[in-house]
Amino acid sequence: MSKGKKGRYTVALLSVLYPLITIALVFSIWAIVAAAVHKPLIIPSIGATFNGLGVLLSSGDFYAAAGFTLLRTLLGYIISLALALIGAVCAALFSPVRKLLSPLIAISRAVPTMSVILLCLLWVSNNILPVAVCVVIICPLLYTNILGAIDGVDRRLVQMSRVYGVPMTRQITQMYIPLVLPDILTSVRSTLSLTLKLTIAGEVMSSTAISIGQAMNMSNMYLDTDILFAWTIVAIVLSALLEGGVALIAKLCARWRDA
């Protein structure tokens, strides 16, 4: 085996090994703390939690709740990304738009998340609230990151393309998109899991029907701590799957860019 292939295999092995070690440490600490406290209502054992997870997986309500929460997350994120993309492009092209949006973005980023949720409780229905919360909080983050990526394009390349009369469509497809897309995907990967957490938080506060948040709220109300922990594991897994999907898309885009 060549050194190059051996090095790649080593990197791949370590990329799998380190997360497994981290998970093992977390579960070890969990088991030690649960045994030391010895109060299942406060910290359930690993066995009790996974028994609760098995009960959830055997119920049709589980898949409905997880599916609707995931749907709300993706809907809120798609709306946020579309608004942020439109706003960032307009701000990059027109200085007055940038100046108008700048204070609004600063204010929206400074507003506490709980204030957004409580105000949305007054203004929108329970079913819409999780999506509205995501848009209000995630859109400014995406706008800032996308605008920064556009501003980061080498000005010399832009000037050169203008000097040589490169059509705008070609500038967009062969210069802007390849240069900006990696930064946008990095931003998407870092904010998508946050969107899921915000969605669940909104569902908890509004008791949104058929949702992970409502199920967590009910578990807390009836002191089913093992079920609450089980739903938490479900949320973590969903978050990891979303990030993994974005990472896969990023790899495919990198191959397209290098082709």
Query: What φ, ψ does residue 211 adopt, rounded to 5°?
Result: -155, 160
Confidence of residue 4 (pLDDT cuts 50, 70, 90): low
Q: What would the two tokens of residue 212 be?
A: 């992970």
* Helix, strand, coil in percent for the chain, rounding step 5: 85, 0, 15
Q: What is the mean pLDDT of residues 123-135?
A: 91
The SS3 assignment for 212 reads helix
Mean pLDDT calculated for residue range 180-204: 90
| Residue found by looking up tokens 């969107």 in the block | 195
pLDDT at 223: 87
Tell me, letter by letter, the H, E, C secondary structure of 128-193. Answer: CHHHHHHHHHHHHHHHHHHHHHHHCCCHHHHHHHHHCCCCHHHHHHHHHHHHHHHHHHHHHHHHHH
Tens digit of pLDDT for each residue in 52-96? Answer: 999 999 988 999 999 999 999 999 999 999 999 999 999 988 889
Distance of CA 82 to the CA centre of its chain: 15
158/226: higher pLDDT: 226
Share of the chain above pLDDT 70, in %: 94
Query: Residue 202 pLDDT more than 80?
Result: yes
Report the residue count for the chain.
259
Q: Average pLDDT in the 130-155 region? A: 90
pLDDT value, residue 2: 56
Residue 257: the pLDDT is: 66
From 121-135, 173-187, 237-251, the region with the lowest mean pLDDT: 173-187
195: nearest Cα among 110, 136, 248: 136
Range with lowest mean pLDDT among 57-66, 131-140, 162-171: 162-171
Angle, in degrees to the nearest 10, between helices 60-93 and 177-206: 130
Contact assessment for residue 177 and residue 187, using Cβ atoms and an 8 Å cutoff: no
- Assess whether pLDDT exceeds 60 at residue 113: yes
pLDDT at 259: 59
In CATH terms, the fold of domain 68-258 is MetI-like fold (1.10.3720)
Structure tokens at 87: 């706003």
What pLDDT score does 11 carry? 67
Whose tokens are 């080498």? That residue is: 154
Q: Does residue 1 have a pLDDT over 70?
A: no
Quote the CA–CA distance of 27 and 173 in Å, as a whole number.
Answer: 47
- Is the pLDDT higher at 126 or at 256? 126
Buried b (16+ CB within 10 A) or exposed e, 32-45: eebeeeeeeeebbb
Question: What residues have CB less than 8 Å from 226, skipping those under 6 apart?
Answer: 40, 44, 48, 49, 51, 52
Reduce the DSSP state of residue 105 to 3 states and report it.
Answer: helix
Element (H, E) at 224: none
Most distant CA pair in the chain, distance: 74
CA pair distance 184, 47, nearest whole angstrom: 40
Looking at residue 226, its pLDDT comes to: 92
Q: What is the mean pLDDT of residues 4-30?
A: 78
